[in-house]
Amino acid sequence: MPPSPSPSPSPPHQPRRTPENARKKAYKEQADVSNGRRRREAQLLQLRKSRREDTLSKRRRDDASSPSTEPEPDIGPARPESDPPSSSDPPPLPCAADADSSKLLGIINGLKSENISLQLEATIKIRKILSVDGNSLAEEVITSDVVARLVELLSSKKNPRGPQLQVEAAWALTNITAGPSEHTEVVTNAGAVPKLVKLLESPRSDVREQAMWALGNIAAESQRCRELVIDHGGLVQLLSQFNEHAKVSNLRMATWTLSNLCFGKLPSNSQTKAVLQILQQLLNSIDEKILSDTCWAVSYLCNHGTDEIQMVIESQICYLLVKLLMHSSPKVVTPVILALANVSAADDCQVQFLIDSGILQCLPKLLTRNYQKCIKNQACMTVSNICAGTTAQIQAIIDAKMVPLLIQLSQRGETDIKKEAIWAIANATSGGSPDQIRSLVGDGCIIALCNALVLSDADLLYACLNGLESILKVGEMEKMKDEAGTNPYAVLMEECGGLDKLENLQGFNNDAIFEKTIKLLESYWVEEGSENEAPKEPSPDDT
């Protein structure tokens, strides 16, 4: 053999001689079984390591002078903000925000690799880039192929770190869907919805939770998105999350996501009923977050029409809602009153359900105590809706001693509440029986309505004029009993300056108001003494 010209520069790769014994071991190997002790030891070592770290970090934090030394925890997603249907933003996390575009390229390569560690690392980085508002890299990340890859990673398979990757990928998508509509569209176009729905079957609660969050964000986007989620079985899967084994954090997320889905009309009544069945159970929850989102869901459903309201009533939810009006947290009370306000706008029978549930015992408290304006506003609107109901319903308002309260609010309340109070008074006076009107006048309704005649809201003005008309009609009836033969209510109006305001309305640029004003002036004041000019619709019972 000739001598070799090239001496070997690198140490040769020694043959890995697999001795026959090693091969024999591989025969019908049940690998783990034969190695129990070493495995148990390894488990204990792992436990030991983490406890040692716990002890140390506890000490490191143990320092009153430096409360800020506790590192920002890099844990799972924080709860979404509860203002559905707007999408939620996860909190900004410590992040490699300084990564520049070239770094991004590396991340994207990692994402596309076939190696799960690299995928995971890259996904975490992307998720963090996305979690910082206004990160210039975010736009670069949200390209269709990155998103498509993230969507692919949602179905990571057999690997111990697979679930972790699923969580991270879903988290990244959650962050994207928290952004503008066009970002969410990239995600839905990449086919994320069916895969996220599939994740709801995962045995791991963290995976399910993150998938729900992403779906919740998507559902918040548009009716089309909600239908997309529902069409892929998202609603059914979501409802199955509510079981006795579920963790509170999962229930919270599921409830939030459900509420977002309820924001639009559900495709079928049977779905609505199934949802309501769950919501009815959730209304007994003691968790404020769950309660709040449940009530939001109900309030959205009540927004969709009388059919939905009827189903809400039939699922025995009204009574529970009314009870929750007295809940200590405004986060619960707000959606509750919104839901009830919607019901109060429905038909008379449905409104009667509200009254029977005892709402009138609660509303005065809402109106008089220190609640947020929007709660008071909705409460007041509920009252005004009830006032627009039957005489029996108006009577219930009177019996609940709410009229003086309304009058008070109509004078001193904040603008919106003031208006609602006036609406309530106008409705009650327009629809009340003569006796009820007398009672209402006795409480000061004429002044309240007359003061409202300076407002610029045409609908409300018209309602006030209607109310005053009813009052004046009853006044005509009084006139007959009155020896002086005057309409006492017309007199009252003059005394409080109402007539002047009425006359001013002749200049109001609205035909209906103009005509109503002229009619009132002509009927009750113009050409005083002329008996011929008696009101055209004098029948007092004609209500």
Partner 1 sequence: MALEVTQFLLNAQSIDAATRNHAEESLKQIQEQNLPAFLLSLSAELANNSKPIESRKLAGLILKNALDAKELHRKNDLAQRWLSLDLATKTQIKTSLLQTFSSPVSDARSTASQVIAKVAGIELPHKQWPELIGSLLSNIHQVETHVKQATLETLGYVCEEVDPQVVDQDQVNRILTAVVQGMNATETSSDVRLAATRALYNALGFAQANFTNDMERDYIMRVVCEATQSSDVKIRQAAFECLVAISSTYYEKLAPYMQDIFNITSKAVREDEEPVALQAIEFWSSICDEEIDILDDYRSEYTGDSDVPCFYFIKQALPALVPMLLETLLKQEEDQDQDEGAWNIAMAGGTCLGLVARTVGDEIVPLVMPFIEENISKPDWRRREAATYAFGSILDGPSPGKLAPIVNVALNFMLAALSRDPNNHVKDTTAWTLGRIFEFLHGAAVETSVITQENCQQILTVLLQSMKDVPNVAEKACGALYFLAQGYEDEGSVSPLTPFFQDIFQMLLFVTHRVDATESNLRTSAYEALNEVVRCSNDETAPIVMQLIPVIMLELHQTVEAQKLTSDEREKQNDLQGLLCGCLQVIIQKMGSIEGSKYAFMQYADQIMDLLLKVFASRNATVHEEAMLAIGALAYTAGPNFAKYMPQFYQYLEMGLQNFEEYQICAITVGVVGDLCRALEDKILPYCDGIMTQLLKNLSSNQLHRSVKPPIFSCFGDIALAIGENFEKYLVYAMPMLQSAAELSAHAVSQDDEMLEYTNQLRNGILEAYSGILQGFKSSPKTQALVPYAAHVLQFIDTMYGGREMDDAVMKSALGVLGDLADTLGSHVGPLISQSSSSKDLIEECMVYDDPLIRESAEWAKLAINRAVSG
- Residue 498 buriedness (CB in 10 A; 0-12 / 13-18 / 19+): buried
Between CA 471 and CA 478 the distance in angstroms is 10
Is residue 159 near partner 1 by the rule CB under 8 A? yes
CB of 161 to partner 1, least distance (A): 9
Q: Which of 50, 86, 115, 486 binds partner 1 (CB under 8 A)?
A: 115
Cβ distance to partner 1 smaller for residue 125 or 304: 125
Sequence letter at residue 130:
L
C-alpha to C-alpha distances, 541 to 428, 437, 442, 519, nearest whole angstrom: 15, 12, 20, 20
Looking only at residues 123 through 142 of this chain, which bind partner 1 when binding is defined by CB under 8 A? 124-125
Within a 13 Å sphere around the CA of 49, how many CA atoms are in the beta-carbon half? 6
C-alpha to C-alpha distances, 77 to 126, 396, 416, nearest whole angstrom: 15, 48, 38
CB of 36 to partner 1, least distance (A): 5
Cβ distance to partner 1 smaller for residue 131 or 382: 131
Cβ distance to partner 1 smaller for residue 145 or 482: 145
How many residues sit close enough to partner 1 to count as binding (CB under 8 A)?
74
Looking only at residues 17 through 76 of this chain, which bind partner 1 when binding is defined by CB under 8 A? 17-18, 20, 23-24, 26-28, 30, 32-34, 36-37, 40-41, 43-45, 47-48, 51-52, 55-56, 59-60, 62-63, 65-66, 68-69, 71-72, 74
Cβ distance to partner 1 smaller for residue 113 or 281: 113
Looking only at residues 245 through 264 of this chain, which bind partner 1 when binding is defined by CB under 8 A? 245
Interface segment toward partner 1; rule CB under 8 A; list 146-154, 159-167, 352-360, 385-393: 159-167
Cβ distance to partner 1 smaller for residue 39 or 401: 39
Looking only at residues 431 through 490 of this chain, which bind partner 1 when binding is defined by CB under 8 A? none
CB of 137 to partner 1, least distance (A): 15
Looking only at residues 183 through 242 of this chain, which bind partner 1 when binding is defined by CB under 8 A? 202-205
CB atoms within 10 A of CB 328: 8
Between CA 418 and CA 173 the distance in angstroms is 45
Interface segment toward partner 1; rule CB under 8 A; list 6-14, 312-320, 359-367, 478-486: 6-14
- Residue 154 buriedness (CB in 10 A; 0-12 / 13-18 / 19+): buried
CA 123 to centroid of chain Cα atoms: 30
Sign of CA pseudo-dihedral 120, 125, 126, 130: positive
Interface segment toward partner 1; rule CB under 8 A; list 112-120, 220-228, 430-438, 443-451: 112-120
CB of 249 to partner 1, least distance (A): 13
341 Cβ partners below 8 Å, 6+ apart?
378, 379, 381, 382, 385
Residue reference for tokens 């007199």: 491
CB of 279 to partner 1, least distance (A): 24
Cβ distance to partner 1 smaller for residue 124 or 258: 124
Q: Which of 11, 134, 485, 529 binds partner 1 (CB under 8 A)?
A: 11
Between CA 521 and CA 43 the distance in angstroms is 92
Between CA 59 and CA 66 the distance in angstroms is 12
Cβ distance to partner 1 smaller for residue 110 or 431: 110
CB of 289 to partner 1, least distance (A): 22
Cβ distance to partner 1 smaller for residue 3 or 485: 3
Between CA 371 and CA 118 the distance in angstroms is 52
Between CA 292 and CA 330 the distance in angstroms is 9
Looking only at residues 89 through 108 of this chain, which bind partner 1 when binding is defined by CB under 8 A? 94, 96, 98
Interface segment toward partner 1; rule CB under 8 A; list 119-127, 318-326, 446-454, 519-527: 119-127
CB of 291 to partner 1, least distance (A): 25
Name the residue among 257, 266, 200 with its Cα closest to residue 230: 266
CB of 172 to partner 1, least distance (A): 15
CB of 256 to partner 1, least distance (A): 21
**Helices of type H across 345-457:** 348-356, 359-368, 373-387, 391-399, 403-412, 415-431, 434-443, 445-451
CB of 70 to partner 1, least distance (A): 9
CA 187 to centroid of chain Cα atoms: 23
Q: Which of 163, 191, 194, 488 binds partner 1 (CB under 8 A)?
A: 163
Cβ distance to partner 1 smaller for residue 30 or 532: 30
For every residue of 498-510, which 3-state class applies, written as one string? HHHHHHHHHHCCC
CB of 463 to partner 1, least distance (A): 58
Cβ distance to partner 1 smaller for residue 238 or 354: 238
Sequence letter at residue 168:
E
Between CA 200 and CA 208 the distance in angstroms is 5
Name the residue among 396, 286, 380 with its Cα closest to residue 340: 380
CB of 103 to partner 1, least distance (A): 10
Number of H helices, E strands in the chain: 30, 0
CB atoms within 10 A of CB 449: 28
CB of 200 to partner 1, least distance (A): 13
Cβ distance to partner 1 smaller for residue 90 or 467: 90
